[in-house]
Copies of this chain bind each other. A is one copy, B any other.
Amino acid sequence: MSNILIETLKEIFSMPQRKVEELLKVCTIETHAKNEMVVTKGKTFNRLGYIIHGAARIYYSNERGEEVSYLLQVNGDVIGDYAGFITGAASEVKIEILLPTEVLYLEKNQLDTLIQKDIFWLFFAKQLSDMAFLSAKQRLDELFFYTPEQRYLNLIKKSPEILNKIPQKYISSYLGITPPSLSRIRKRIFDI
């Protein structure tokens, strides 16, 4: 397990094994049960999680109480509230664990401590921000250039495993549509 993790992190951040080990030393692994809610009401969600295996959805509620599944995350994806992580603002995010899930957590203060000791970790932190930006940008492009139907097809192509693992209602929310709409889209696609 830990070996795969080390190799993966080495590759993602293109950093030497020594650094990965240093990082893992200040991380913790937690397991979450299915349907567990990971929330920090009124506080900052001060950590980033890396899903070793499992699935979760990250969602935000607006002032009218409507919720939107901001992300559907599976193996190898990141969970947390990166906006809160960098600004320290209290988090409106909620994370719902959808499958038995094992998560590698990095606390913000641990990262800060690393940065104090070794400037390498500032590069690492910048990489995190870069990656967060790029994935948000990708999501924006998706929303601008594709219809809900095309977005669904893209999702099937990109993460087929999500379809079996994650209830439709969260997929529809992720796509920015209602469950009946997704149902009709599926009918259009598969019935022909």
Partner-B contacts on A (CB < 8 A): 60, 62, 66, 68, 70, 82-83, 86-87, 119, 122-123, 125-126, 129-130, 132-134, 136-137, 139-141, 143-145, 176
Alpha-carbon distance between A35 and B126 when the two chains are bound, in angstroms: 35
Are A133 and B86 touching (Cβ within 8 A)?
yes
13 contacts between A and B (CB under 8 A): A82-B133, A82-B137, A86-B133, A86-B134, A122-B122, A125-B126, A126-B126, A129-B132, A133-B133, A133-B136, A136-B136, A136-B137, A140-B140
> What residues of chain B lie closer than 8 Å to A143, measured between beta carbons?
140, 143, 176
Name A146's closest neighbour in chain B (CB-CB).
B62
- Chain A interface mostly: helix
A111 to chain B: closest CB distance in Å?
12
Most buried by B among A126, A143, A176: A126
* 7 cross-chain pairs, A with B, having the tightest CB-CB distances, nearest first: A129-B129, A136-B136, A133-B133, A126-B126, A62-B145, A68-B144, A132-B133
Alpha-carbon distance between A133 and B83 when the two chains are bound, in angstroms: 8
Are B134 and A87 touching (Cβ within 8 A)?
yes
Are B136 and A140 touching (Cβ within 8 A)?
yes
Alpha-carbon distance between A137 and B87 when the two chains are bound, in angstroms: 13
Alpha-carbon distance between A125 and B86 when the two chains are bound, in angstroms: 14
